[in-house]
Amino acid sequence: MELFEKLLEMTAIEAFMSSPLSLLMLVLSFILLYLGIGKGFEPLLLVPIAFGMMLANFPGGNMAVVNADQVKDFHLLQIAREYGIMNMLYFTLIKTGLLPPLIFMGVGAMTDFGPMLRNLRLAFFGAAAQIGIFSVMIVAVLIGFTPKEAGALGIIGGADGPTAIYTSIILAPHLLGPIAIAAYSYMALVPIIIPLVVKWTTSEAELMINMKEQESLYPSKMVIKNLQRVKILFPLVLGFFIFLLVPSSVPLVGFLLFGNLVKEIGQATNRLYQAASETIMNTATIFLGLTVGATMTAESFLTPQTLLIVGGGFVAFAISIAGGIFAVKLYNLFASKKINPLIGATGLSAVPMASRVANEIALKYDKTNHLLQYAMSSNISGVIGSAVAAGVLISFLS
Amino acid sequence: MELFEKLLEMTAIEAFMSSPLSLLMLVLSFILLYLGIGKGFEPLLLVPIAFGMMLANFPGGNMAVVNADQVKDFHLLQIAREYGIMNMLYFTLIKTGLLPPLIFMGVGAMTDFGPMLRNLRLAFFGAAAQIGIFSVMIVAVLIGFTPKEAGALGIIGGADGPTAIYTSIILAPHLLGPIAIAAYSYMALVPIIIPLVVKWTTSEAELMINMKEQESLYPSKMVIKNLQRVKILFPLVLGFFIFLLVPSSVPLVGFLLFGNLVKEIGQATNRLYQAASETIMNTATIFLGLTVGATMTAESFLTPQTLLIVGGGFVAFAISIAGGIFAVKLYNLFASKKINPLIGATGLSAVPMASRVANEIALKYDKTNHLLQYAMSSNISGVIGSAVAAGVLISFLS
Amino acid sequence: MELFEKLLEMTAIEAFMSSPLSLLMLVLSFILLYLGIGKGFEPLLLVPIAFGMMLANFPGGNMAVVNADQVKDFHLLQIAREYGIMNMLYFTLIKTGLLPPLIFMGVGAMTDFGPMLRNLRLAFFGAAAQIGIFSVMIVAVLIGFTPKEAGALGIIGGADGPTAIYTSIILAPHLLGPIAIAAYSYMALVPIIIPLVVKWTTSEAELMINMKEQESLYPSKMVIKNLQRVKILFPLVLGFFIFLLVPSSVPLVGFLLFGNLVKEIGQATNRLYQAASETIMNTATIFLGLTVGATMTAESFLTPQTLLIVGGGFVAFAISIAGGIFAVKLYNLFASKKINPLIGATGLSAVPMASRVANEIALKYDKTNHLLQYAMSSNISGVIGSAVAAGVLISFLS
Amino acid sequence: MESINQILLLLVVGMVTVFAILSLVVGMGNFLILLVNRLEENNQKQDKVADAHAAVITSVVSIVTQGKAQIVKIIKTK
Amino acid sequence: MESINQILLLLVVGMVTVFAILSLVVGMGNFLILLVNRLEENNQKQDKVADAHAAVITSVVSIVTQGKAQIVKIIKTK
Amino acid sequence: MESINQILLLLVVGMVTVFAILSLVVGMGNFLILLVNRLEENNQKQDKVADAHAAVITSVVSIVTQGKAQIVKIIKTK
Ligand code: NA
Ligand code: NA
Ligand code: NA
């Protein structure tokens, strides 16, 4: 019998009995794994997040990220000794805010500003589509979130994973898990959310506005004679102004533009491009996913706040999409060269999924209306828009 | 003359005179380099280990890993300042237990569970072949090792580098160097050890049991209609039960299964697979090798314990192989569908070398007896077996 | 009006007004970017250095590396919390001296000692070309630099980026920025500096010495029957002696030779070669560049010392080149098999640029005088020469 | 002697656990194979991504990425 | 109520800033395109690396690297 | 003045060391070349992996890895 007791003691079975909610968390992690693997919802992030969540919820596995108060003033070797490698990774890579800028460097190295530069005018709509961030923030304050928490919740409406994670780390690290889950899930659900909001807010006539037709009716005078050179100068000059006006966005936008710069320079900095877009990006994604997942224990996740975040995140997405659409409608009231409101719908970012969805919707109404290149313009500018919005929130709230 | 004194002072010559054993360590490091490069013994590990050993034994080079007591409560910047970069790397990456799980993630990403799933029954023999671990542990306690040291010594019989290193880090970090050397050396010597043990324990008739013949005599009813889907579900479901029953094995098995999962999902998580199997794996291998090598200074390595570890490691390997073989013999007593005892011999792991060796031996006795696919089943299950055994040891002894 | 005030407060505009010199630093960073991107001056290093410099000089961006005294006894999580991720990276990766050895590992993995082994005699001139290091050091002490600072300044004459950075980190971290800039800029300017010094110090007759002609007049008896095996043994045996005589050079030379070893072993250690020459190298280059750049704030950079470093660095380069040339001339006085003085000019290192420049100059005077392979010998030995010189400086001054 | 008893117990616990886990590997593996086989039989008729649909996806990706990306594999997710 | 006022102000500040930055994106982008177009027109005649020169570079690299490296792209830098 | 003397001494020590190390490079290099040449001469007759043996290895690897790996190089180790 001693043997059986020893065996039982070693297992996590008794511990599960005393905290049965951990089992619920395991079920949730399997659901997320199903969404990531079976349904293809942002698998690069959802699979490691869900796996980290699973590991964290086995009592005795020593993989759950502990409350920051527990490791106050600990140095990282102490954290590793007391709470294991997952906490070491979390407090070194995530809590310090290191990984989101590194991932943004990779995003920059994989972003082509070409479509935006060819349709610069449309970049405006990436601004209007940030309205969901601030609207939901206000609602969140009204229903009892602190301003910091409200800001972190609102930023889900920026439809940008690293931006949402970075903002949460700084403003409300205790909500990091649900915010990351909500951000990536809704980004994966963009093919459902955008058509829904579009149906509520636009008419068939508007959706039939053919971008190429408008282009030939009112041709742009602008010709780009050396796109490559423009693309090298663009991150430098743009950086100068953004850093000047919103210095708190430097960690995100700075690394984004650096990654983009080493890509556009080409062969001469190819080694840096490889590091930014592959080596660092892929490694950072694994560690970000696993550690963010490991923050989601029953105690930290199964709270009313999580439900509000999941709900609020959806509202923020919807308002952002509607914001972009109404900005286009407003523009169309005054301009003779009309814009398809779908171009506004992609302003929230979720690159490049949103653009593909917009393109598909447009083709349904007019088989010749290939507006993908146009949608990419507001789509990409939405990334800059939400990173700047994050900078403003951090600057005012932290 | 002042010049000559100054020059001499700068060199390591005087220091070597006061610690001539360091020269012996250099000779050992060159022998290991010869084995790794000239003889092809696990060069990926033995070359960096030997090089780290060489660097560590030049007095004044500041590359030897110091005793953990000397850096008690130091944070890593202090360690770097006082004891240089090798200690910084060692105490951050190894002493915390970080690298072995990361390497196991890579092992998982390079492991195909297919051969095991196609011959599941044979996976049992990966359990019997762990007996060497526990037998040698008992002997070690009897001859005076502490239980923790004995557990770390026994785990050499698991024939799995990262598992042995991880267990040593936790149970007996002062023995890490010789245990790592013994583990990787005997894994390299599997082509010599397995034939030896097989000769001692099996008859020619047994070695002539033809697996494919048995298969056609007693065909299995099981058909796998979608191996890919099974391979995705397998790490998840298996993980659930292992983590539940042996939560202390989560750092090893959890990362192994995560690496395997991102491989099997395929294109959707290819970036994670790249990071796990290349970027992280290769980088971790360099740092693991160099720092483990750098723990082997004359004081820490030239002890009677090292000889006992080298001897005990060999015995553990031999017993594990014999354990697997006898388990097959026992099975054959009762079953009509016979199994070649070589399938048991590969249960200790040392993937895939052990399977190749078993295959070669079988072919010597029967030119049609290609049992590689069968051997891989117990071979791979032996990896899980020893990781679980390590979890049990850690859970009971640490 | 409150709105406008709030907006202004968020920006860096007011801060720039109180520290207008930061604007000058931004101008300098754009000049460096122009040199790196537009002129192709060592873009792999100058682009990240310049970008880091730009980020650091936006007040409020929290990207400037602070004085080491400010973070005395801080552990890295504290540094991250108080001073942001750039300081975290700097104090973990640079101040500890970690990255230059890792980069040297990559340099080793990309260096082929073949040309040097085929023309071993010429390797001597890599020694003479280190004279610039020590001469400028003496001058620097005379004009008021401390010996440590003088050593760090002199090492620019080694024409080797990682060596210069490593030496500065240890001897004079407050001068790291300008020394790194000077080292990489003059390495990029080698196509201008070498011809200049050659013109001042050599006659046309000397430049017309045809290496292949000399070779056929006085053929070498040495034949290499198995270059591959020599190349594997070479780093090991050479390492033994260098580590014995100058143990303080182990962090640089040890990692260089390890990288070279895993390259020369070939397929068996290909994974380590990949990690050394790609994964670690590229990642380290990004972080080295950005953080070194981020040390250059107006306060730390706009000092008289910076001008002296820029001037002294040039003098060190010139003296080193002349040193190599005069060593050849001296040799030619006594030997009948003459050597083209351009072989001496490449001894300072700046591999492989210096050799290409020497080759081009030689071809101007004699269209058949392809001396590239010969120049590579002294060129590569110059890397070892300056790493050893750095070891001596560190050993005596730190 | 106490210590030796503990260590002997550890041998038993260890081998029992290892056998238990590898039994689970075998059992679970067989169960998963059967489960997936069952699912396969049900889904077999509807499990191909229509060729026409695939062609559209391929061409869209080609446009978006200006020919830099290509479709390696299309997985039906619903 | 204080807090709500602050948050409303933050909405205004935030949206103003985002619009300002994206106006800069548009303005700056147009300016850069025009600037580069102007530079292009001036440089157009002298902007090709002579084929002869390229051949020399290619062969030198091939010698230095013993055929292991190849010229991917030659950029004129002055 | 003390300091200047030290620095001058450092110049001498430094250059002497650098010359010593590079002499070792030359000497050691020549020694290794001769040593390896000698070894080569002795081993020359027995230094090839038999083609038949290589074919077996290649096919085994191909089976084990289901065609995913290929033999890049076979080194004789004993
Ligand atoms: Na956005
Ligand atoms: Na094993
Ligand atoms: Na040099």
Q: What is the pLDDT of residues C23-61, one digit of tens each?
A: 999 999 999 999 999 998 889 999 999 999 999 999 888
Contact A30 B395 (CB under 8 A): no
Question: Mean of the per-residue pLDDT values for chain B?
Answer: 93
Query: At CB < 8 A and 24+ separation, what contacts does C273-279 make?
Result: C273/C109, C274/B278, C274/B282, C275/B282, C275/B283, C275/B285, C275/B286, C276/B286, C276/C105, C276/C106, C276/C108, C276/C109, C277/C106, C277/C109, C277/C110, C278/A271, C278/A274, C278/A279, C279/A279, C279/B278, C279/B279, C279/B282, C279/B283
Contact A268 C11 (CB under 8 A): no
Contact C222 F36 (CB under 8 A): no
> Tens of pLDDT along A30-52?
999 999 999 988 899 999 999 99
Q: What gap in Å lies between CA A22 and CA A56, rounded to an integer?
A: 9
Q: Which amino acid is at D68?
A: K
Distance C176 CA to ligand 3 centre (A): 18
Taking the CA of B183 as reference, the closest ligand is 2
Residue D50 has pLDDT above 90, yes or no: no
Q: What gap in Å lies between CA B155 and CA B162, rounded to an integer?
A: 11
Residue of F nearest to C148 (CA): F7
Residue A336 has pLDDT above 80, yes or no: yes
Q: Does B283 touch chain C (CB under 8 A)?
A: yes
Contact C343, C115 (CB under 8 A): no
The model's pTM: 0.91
If you search the block for the tokens 């936006």, which residue do you land on? C58
Q: What gap in Å lies between CA C324 and CA C123, rounded to an integer?
A: 11
Contact C275 B290 (CB under 8 A): no
Distance C311 CA to ligand 2 centre (A): 62
Question: Mean of the per-residue pLDDT values for chain A?
Answer: 93
Confidence bin at C9 (pLDDT 50/70/90) = confident
Confidence bin at F76 (pLDDT 50/70/90) = very low
Residue of A nearest to E28 (CA): A238
Q: Which residues of E touch A126 (CB under 8 A)?
A: 22
Residue A259 has pLDDT above 80, yes or no: yes
Residue F3 has pLDDT above 80, yes or no: no
Q: What gap in Å lies between CA B389 and CA B78, rounded to an integer?
A: 36
ipTM over 0.90: no
C94-98: average pLDDT: 93
Q: Does F5 touch chain C (CB under 8 A)?
A: no
> Tens of pLDDT along C212-261?
999 889 988 778 999 999 999 999 999 999 999 999 999 999 999 999 99
Contact B2 F9 (CB under 8 A): yes
Taking the CA of C127 as reference, the closest ligand is 3
**What tokens were used for C16?**
């720039």
Contact E19 A127 (CB under 8 A): yes
> Tens of pLDDT along C355-379?
999 999 999 999 999 999 999 999 9
Per mean pLDDT, which range of B47-51, C298-302, C329-333, F29-33 is the poorest?
Answer: C298-302
Q: Which residues of B touch A78 (CB under 8 A)?
A: 75
Residue of E nearest to C355 (CA): E64
Note the pLDDT of residue F43. 75
Note the pLDDT of residue D67. 47
Q: Which residues of A touch C282 (CB under 8 A)?
A: 271-272, 274-275, 279
Residue C20 has pLDDT above 50, yes or no: yes
Q: What is the DSSP string of A119-171?
A: TGGGGGHHHHTTHHHHHHHHHHHHTT--HHHHHHHHGGGG--HHHHHHHHHHH
Contact C388 F3 (CB under 8 A): no
Residue C98 has pLDDT above 50, yes or no: yes
Q: Write the CA distances from A329 to A210, A333, A340, A369, C335, integer angstroms.
A: 15, 6, 9, 18, 87
Contact B372 F9 (CB under 8 A): no
Contact C60 A240 (CB under 8 A): no
B107 or B12, which is more confident = B107
Task: Report the run of H or E that residue C287 belongs to, with start and end.
Answer: helix C281-294
> Tens of pLDDT along B277-297?
999 999 999 999 999 999 999
Distance A240 CA to ligand 1 centre (A): 20
Contact A359 D60 (CB under 8 A): yes
Q: What gap in Å lies between CA C285 and CA C110, rounded to an integer?
A: 14
Contact A47, A289 (CB under 8 A): yes
Taking the CA of A386 as reference, the closest ligand is 1
Q: Does A33 touch chain B (CB under 8 A)?
A: yes
Chain A nearest-CA distance from B339, in A, is 31
Residues, Cβ < 5 Å to ion ligand 3: C 158-160, 349, 382, 386
Q: Which residues of A touch B279 (CB under 8 A)?
A: 278-279, 282-283
Q: Which residues contact C9 (CB under 8 A, 6 or more apart)?
A: none
**What tokens were used for C302?**
């706009």
Note the pLDDT of residue E47. 46
Q: Which residues of C touch A269 (CB under 8 A)?
A: 43-44, 47
Helix (H, G, I), strand (E, B) or coil at C141: helix
Q: Does C101 touch chain A (CB under 8 A)?
A: no
